[in-house]
Structures are given as C-alpha cells and as structure tokens.
Amino acid sequence: MLTIAILLPILAAIGVGLARNVSTGDGERRLQQVATVVAAVPLILLLVAWSRFGGSGGFEQVETVPWIPTLGVAWKVGVDGLSLPLATMTALLFVVAIAYPVDFRGRAAAYLALMLFLEGVSIGLFLAQDLFLFFVFWDVSLVAMYFLIGAWGHGDAARSALKFFVYTFAGSLPLLLAILALYLASEPRTFDMAELIRQQPLAGAGLYAMVVFLGFFLGFAIKTPMVPFHTWLPPAHVDAPGPASAILAGVLLKMGTYGFVRILMSMMPDAFADLAFPLAVLAVISIVYGALVALAQTNLKRLIAYTSVNHMGYVILGLAVAGVVAPGQEAAQRLALDGATLEMVAHGLITGGLFLISGSILTRGGTYEIAEYGGLLDRTRGLTVGTAVLAFASLGLPGLAGFVAEFQIFAGTLGVFPVLAMVALIGIVVTAALFLRMLGQMFLGPLPERWRSLPDLGRVVLGAIGLLVALVVLIGVAPALVLDVIDSFVAPFVAG
C-alpha cells in the first residue's frame, strides 16, 4: 500500500506527461483536476496507514522487495512515528499545490507531471527504510525541482534553478559518500535502515566517524538549510512559481531535518551526542540570523524564505537537544524531539501555505515587493485572513500549529542548553515583528489607488488555503492528534 502511494504518482506522472491536446485552458484545467485526484490517492492511502498505525516504536507496515540484494539494497518502505506525519503532510501539501492555479506557460502536462513525480519521490523519501532508496529519492527530487523552477519560474529563473541544483547537489554528494562509509562499515553490508540502526556500524570509530558525520552534516545542513549554507534558498524561492516554492519549503527542506533524525541521530548517536552542542549553537545562529535577515527583507518571498531558515533552526535546535547526553533531562529531550518533529510538520503546512499565497499575490499584483502594497484587506478578505492566520501561526501564536512545536522545543532546550534557549527566544520576537510589519504594510492602512480592482482569491485557492489553515488550527488546538503518533517514535528513542 505504501508502495502504491509512492509509485502511483510517479507512474501517473508519465501518463500525464504524455497527455496531448492540453493547450487550451479547458484541457489544462481538466488535466489539473485529474492530476489533483491522482495526487490525493497517496494522501488517502497514508491516512489509511495512519488509521492502522500501532505506535509500536519501530517500523510498521513494512513492505520489502529485494532490489539489489548483492549490495544489500532493497525496496523497503514503512512508517514510524517520525515518517508517517511527514509523509502525510507531504501528500497533503502536494494535493494543495497541484490543485493550485498557476501560469502553465502552455506546458501544463509537463508541469503537472513533474509535480506528480515529485510527490511520489518526496513521499518515498520519508517512507524509505533503505539508505540507498532514500538517496535515490533525495537526488531525484533535486532534478524535478530544478525543472520546476527553471521552466515555470520568473525573474532570473534559469540561474536560480542552476544555483539551487548545483548547491544542493553539492550537498548530496557528501551525503552519498557518508552513506557509503556507513554501508561499508556495516557487517553484513546493508543499506537497510533498521539493520543499520541495530548495528551502529561506526560506534567507537573515532575520527573516522567524525568525518562521516561531517559528510552527513554537510548534506543535511545544505538541504535544511542551516546558516551559512542557506544562500541558495532565497533566490530559488523568489524565482520559483508559488506551488513549487511551497513544496520546496514545505517538503524539500524537511528532507534535511528528517535525515538528521533518521540517519545521524539514529545510526550514529555517539557522534551526534559529541557534536550536539556545536550543532545547537549553529542552530541558534540560524534562528537569530534567519529572523534578523528576514526582518530586513522588502521582498515577500525572500522574507518567508528567511523565516524558513529561522524555523529550521528551531528544528535543529530541538534535535540537538534530544541527541545530546543529558542524564536526568530525558523528559526535556523528549519534549524537544516531539516539538522538533511537530515543527517539521507545522512548518510544512504553514510555510507551504504562505508561499502559495505569495504566488497568488504575485499573479495579482505582479510584484513581491511588500512596500508596493497596502490596505489589501479592503479588497481581499480571504487572502488577508489566510495570510494573517498563517503568519500568526508562523510567529508562534498559541492555538495554531507553530506554537505547540516551538514551545516544546524551547521548553526542552531550557532543560539542556538554557543559555542557548534564552538566545533563541529572541527569534520569537523578531519573527513577530517582521510578520506584523508585513501584514500591516500589505493588508492594513490606506488602499493605494492601483489596487482598487484587485480580485480576492478564487474558490480553488480559498479551498486550498482554507484546508491548510484548518489543519494549522486543528494541530494548534489538538496537537495530540499528531503528537501521539510522533511520540511513539520519540519516547523509545529518547529513552535509548
């Protein structure tokens, strides 16, 4: 079933990509509807998987097909408390992103095919229980995203796409080397994650383990992205079409943090514990730096992009806290890891929504410059409310998804790295400032003459954003829905 959730969109992508006669608006719309329906299937399958989820702490619903047994490679997918929420969030975000109206530039089939392909790949990454498979999905996602940005982006899209591709590919290669090092150290050699977690191949490998750690770290830190490896992010976001940005921020960035937990913390816990403090420091730098740089941005998308740096910093901070050796603080570590994982989901929904909205703003106003706008609340209630809720969620307002996650991270961090937590708290104020400033400048105040006829969001968009907002609220009000699943992974993990 999980296999279907991965392969169906990929195969459907081929079908959609070969679709003919979609040059007319009608044909495009119909194809988009078909693609949306296809995209929803994995979501349904994952929800079924969710309903069957037992919370045993290990991998469940595992499906294994030998792939390259000689090398210990298998098509092995499954879920646990970490991957299930992320995969489900991914599927959901893709449904929304695929349904989202976008300027196809006469190539609807290719666009939708790429999106579907990317959906399968992204879900696959989170479900993969095999490092080889994981890396396959990891790398392929870059290619699909490259074309999405390059072909449907705006501004200097080709260049931004190339920068994205080269930079993130540069990150994926150390990752590959590190995976290989892990593989070569295992006995019997295998790429199977569960087996590698059991074996802990590099335990006590000293300097070598550090080098391997560095490889993983580079790969994940670039993808996440952590300061100072983040400079690919703003141009990629600014020039990408709205839905692609949403996927980039909502899904692709999570791959980095997911990798931190799934690989570094699980397979090399000793090395991770040794380096957790520097990692936490880097995370705090990301938090504060990302927030401050975002504050200075005048471009809506750049602003949101930098808040991603900030939020991903929270995630890493939570991970570092959970990974360090801190006797007596297991509860705090559990809290931190719960929070960090939830933050991945929450950030996916929130920032995904914000990027979708900024895409709509661009199609309406033709620019991302915040200062160009003003008083839009007058014309666009739906747009404003959606933006405001998501912005508040992003700045961590209780009752919305971001708060639960961030609060747990902070509370956990205070138990382990109190000073860092205090510094990181600055981020909360700065993000509040920048989002409120953005909201104020764009939606409040007097309405400039040129926007008198700005249309509000269409039905599809409202529905899409509404769905995300509803989920953000739902998680914010009843986080246990997701946290219980997450904790089924976290509690045994932290307990060791």
Compute φ and ψ for 76, nearest 5 degrees: -130, 115
Min CB(256)–other proteins separation in Å: 18
With CB under 8 A as the contact rule, which of the stretches 41-49, 198-206, 246-254, 479-487 interacts with other proteins? 479-487
Nearby residues of 118 by Cβ (< 8 Å), 6 or more positions away: 94, 141, 144, 145, 148, 247
352 counts as binding other proteins under rule CB under 8 A: no
Contact between 147 and other proteins by CB under 8 A: the answer reads yes
Q: Does 470 bind other proteins (CB under 8 A)?
A: no
Question: Could you tell me the smallest distance in angstroms from the CB atom of residue 210 to other proteins?
Answer: 12
Nearest-angstrom CA–CA distance, 386 and 231: 28
Q: According to CB under 8 A, which residues from 39 to 58 bind other proteins?
A: none
CB 360 within 8 A of CB 457: yes
Radius of gyration over every alpha carbon of the chain, rounded to an integer in angstroms: 21
Phi and psi of 156, rounded to 5°?
-90, 60
Site for other proteins contains 474 (CB under 8 A):
no
Q: Does 329 bind other proteins (CB under 8 A)?
A: yes
Query: Considering the rule CB under 8 A, would residue 151 count as an interface residue with other proteins?
Result: yes
Asked if 371 touches other proteins (CB under 8 A), the answer is: no
> Given the complex with other proteins, which of 275 and 414 has the nearer CB atom?
414
Pick the closest to residue 236 from 249, 220, 219 (CA basis): 249
Q: Count H helices, E strands: the chain?
A: 20, 2
Cα 196 from chain centroid? 25
Measured between alpha carbons, how far is residue 399 from residues 171, 278, 402, 429, 476 in Å? 36, 32, 9, 18, 4
Give least dist CB 330 to other proteins, A: 10
Using CB under 8 A as the binding rule, whether residue 422 contacts other proteins is answered as yes
Closest CA to 196 of 257, 138, 122, 129: 129
Q: Which of residues 237-256 bind other proteins (CB under 8 A)?
A: none
Using the contact rule CB under 8 A, the part of the chain among 24-32, 144-152, 248-256, 466-474 near other proteins is 144-152
Q: Give the residue, chosen from 21, 51, 70, 453, that forms a contact with other proteins under the rule CB under 8 A.
A: 70
Q: Is 183 in the site for other proteins (CB under 8 A)?
A: yes
CB 188, min distance to other proteins, A = 13
DSSP state of 400: S
State which of residues 63, 139, 274, 372 lies at the interface with other proteins (CB under 8 A): 139
Q: Using the rule CB under 8 A, is 448 a contact of other proteins?
A: no
Q: How far apart are CA 152 and CA 69, in angstroms?
A: 40
Which residue, among 186, 196, 223, 188, has the nearest Cα to 128 in the 3D structure? 196
* # chain residues binding other proteins, by CB under 8 A: 104
Exactly one of 120, 375, 402, 466 binds other proteins (CB under 8 A); that residue is 375
Sole window of 39-47, 95-103, 150-158, 250-258 interacting with other proteins (rule: CB under 8 A)? 150-158
Is 418 an interacting residue with respect to other proteins (CB under 8 A)? yes
The three-state secondary structure class of 208 is helix
* CB of 370 vs other proteins, minimal distance in Å: 13
* Subset of 378-417 contacting other proteins (CB under 8 A): 378, 392, 396-399, 403-404, 407-408, 410-416
Instruction: Decide if residue 430 touches other proteins (CB under 8 A).
Output: yes
Quote the least distance from Cβ 95 to other proteins, whole Å: 25
Q: Of 146 and 260, which CB lies nearer to other proteins in the complex structure?
A: 146
| Residues from 263 through 322 that contact other proteins (CB under 8 A) | 289, 292-297
In 3-state terms, what secondary structure has residue 77?
strand
Q: How far is the CB of 119 from other proteins (least distance, A)?
A: 17
CA torsion sign, 200 to 201 to 203 to 208? negative
Q: Taking Cα atoms as reference points, which of 334, 206, 366, 229 lies closest to residue 286?
A: 229
Written in H, E and C, the secondary structure of 301-316 is HHHHHHHHHHHHHHHH
- Which CB, 369 or 484, lies closer to other proteins? 484
d(CA 398, CA 366): 33
Interface with other proteins, residue 170, by CB under 8 A = yes
Identify whether the C-beta of residue 194 lies closer than 8 Å to the C-beta of residue 129.
Answer: yes
